Amino acid sequence: MELGYPAYERGHALPDYVRRAVRAILACRTFLLGGHVQACPDGHFERVWYNSCKHRMCPQCAFLQVERWLCQWKARLLGCDHYHVIFTLPHELNDLWLANVEAMTEIFFSCVRETLFEMLGDSRHLGARPGIIATLQTWSQTLSLHPHIHCLITGGGLSDTGQWIAVRNGFLLPSKAVMKKFRGKLSDTLQKALDQGKLTPAGAKSRQQWKNQINRLSQKKWDVYISERYPYGEGVLIYLARYLRGGPISNHRLISCDEKEVTFRYEERPKEKGGKAKRETMTLPIDQFIQRFLLHVPSPGAIRVRSWGLYAHAKAVDLARCREQLGQPPMEAPELPNWQSYCARWGEEHPECCPVCGQLLLCKALIPRAGAPPPSQQAGLGKAA
């Protein structure tokens, strides 16, 4: 992005928070953010360690925050089956989304929540209140706009009388009925929001034209996916964690980049259930790649993860009651990993150990922001003596 961004920025009006995000990502782990010099106690090795930007869109420094989130949620998960449910916004609403990101996000989450709790609270299905973790993802594998919400849902819930009720026959909900309920709720909510002026009509369409568009969509099939059950939920939790931080594309997917174009890998999702994803490559003009990437920069304070029902933080008593009935011990606060403990998992490749003698490197000097090591310290940095 560094190659083409200056020209792109000059030719496009960008929100300040997007400009700040790009500046942070481009400065990540460079002298602009400062850092420190590490050295072996016995003088075998020296290297510079520049600071991370810690922006949630940065693909270089997301892993520790994601690990901490996973650690906290693994400690909270109930010992039961879980289900992965995905609600997708019809692409015909993308322009309305772009013109009203914050309002559309709230409407989307609200309709997903109401759909799941109404159906799972119905005695014909579960008749209980489940635990749900929901994450918003706005991109496809090719970085185009594709708003959808992933939900991790417990395979059971707490009844009004305080009893755990498990999903019957390993079947959470009928996907067609969920789709119809969600489609009706979202269509109705969007219509009312347009009438009340809570949504701004996008593009050349008037308010009435958008209402007509929504009416036409309400006659079509929408994309709602319900997985088969998973024993426990850690696998899906790890999947959800990918979208918390790090942006729409990781560095390992990039194949090549120059001043004109970017080539990257993506997976073509199977159209049929049970089919295998195909690995493909895509080449985009660099300005188009930047445009797609910047579509997904969240505004400051935007919350893309919600926890509902038994997994809501205010429902600790209900969660403890479920754990007891499922034979789980009381929940204990986990010890969150830090940089050192995370690196220790790498064994002999621990980046804070001397490659010659294995001792932990010590901080020898601090590097101020937008500074650089003194010339006397630059020679041999990152090399074994």
Query: Distance between CA 272 and CA 374 in Å, rounded?
Result: 60
In a domain? residue 309:
yes
For residues 264 and 370, state if they share a domain: no
Does 281 lie in the same domain as 261? yes
Tokens representing 125 are 């299905």
Residues 352 and 363 in one domain: yes
H or E element, residue 224: strand 224-226
Residue 310: both structure tokens together: 């038994």
Q: Between helices 234-241 and 63-76, what is the axis angle to 10°? A: 150
Q: Tell which wins on pLDDT, 274 or 265.
A: 265
Please tell me the total number of residues recorded for the chain in this structure. 385
N-terminal to C-terminal alpha carbon distance within the chain: 35
Q: 15-45, pLDDT tens digit by residue?
A: 999 999 999 999 998 989 999 999 999 999 9
In a domain, 70, yes or no: no
d(CA 24, CA 9): 15
Q: In sequence order, what are the beta bridge partners of 166?
A: 156
Amino acid letter for position 16: D
Q: Is residue 334 part of a domain?
A: no
64 within some domain: no
Alpha helices per DSSP H over 218-301: 234-241, 286-294
Could you give the percent of the chain with pLDDT greater than 70?
92
Whether the Cβ atoms of residue 132 and residue 152 lie closer than 8 Å to each other: yes
Q: Note whether residue 73 is domain-resident.
A: no
> What is the structure's pLDDT at 278?
87
- Provide the token pair at 306: 């919600």
**Domain count within the chain:** 3
List, in order, residues 6 or more apart from 164 with CB less than 8 Å away. Answer: 128, 156, 157, 158, 322, 325, 326
What is the b/e burial string over 298-337, where b = at least 16 CB atoms within 10 angstroms of the residue's CB? beeeeebebbbbbbbeebeebbebbbeeeeeeeeeeeeeb
Residue 377 pLDDT grade (very low, low, confident, very high; cuts 50, 70, 90): very low
For residues 106 and 216, membership in a common domain is answered with yes
Q: Is the pLDDT of residue 275 over 60?
A: yes
What residues pair up with 307 in beta bridges, in sequence order?
133
The answer to whether residues 215 and 321 belong to one domain is yes
Helices (H), the chain: 5-11, 16-27, 63-76, 94-99, 101-121, 175-195, 207-217, 234-241, 286-294, 316-325, 339-344, 375-378
pLDDT at 22: 94
Check whether residue 224 and residue 272 sit in a common domain. no
Neighbours of 243 (CB within 10 A): 18
Angle of the 175-195 helix axis to the 207-217 helix axis, nearest 10: 170
Report the C-alpha gap between 215 and 187 in whole angstroms.
Answer: 7
Asked if residue 26 is part of any domain, the answer here is yes
User: What's the whole-number average pLDDT of the chain?
Assistant: 89
**Residue 333 is assigned to a structural domain of this protein:** no
Same domain, 30 and 41: yes
Q: Same domain for 182 and 288? A: no
Q: What is the pLDDT of residues 119-155, one digit of tens each?
A: 999 999 999 999 999 999 999 999 999 999 999 999 9
- Contact predicate 132/153, CB 8 Å: yes
- For 198-245, the pLDDT digits (tens) are 999 988 899 999 999 999 999 999 999 999 888 878 888 888 887 788
CA distance 148 to 105: 10
Separation CA 153–CA 243 (nearest Å):
17
What is d(CA 107, CA 16) in angstroms, rounded to the nearest whole number?
A: 25
| Shared-domain flag, residues 99 and 230 | yes
pLDDT at 156 over 70: yes
Are 171 and 310 within one domain?
Answer: yes
In angstroms, rounded to a whole number, what is the distance separating the alpha carbons of residues 353 and 38? 10
Angle 333-240-114 (CA atoms, 0-180°, nearest 5)?
A: 95
Tokens linked to 356: 């010659």
| 173 and 86 share one domain | yes
For 176-186, what is the mean pLDDT?
A: 97
Residues 83 and 153 in one domain: yes
Q: Which domain holds residue 286?
A: 253-295
Is residue 65 assigned to a domain? no
Q: Which amino acid is at 12?
A: H
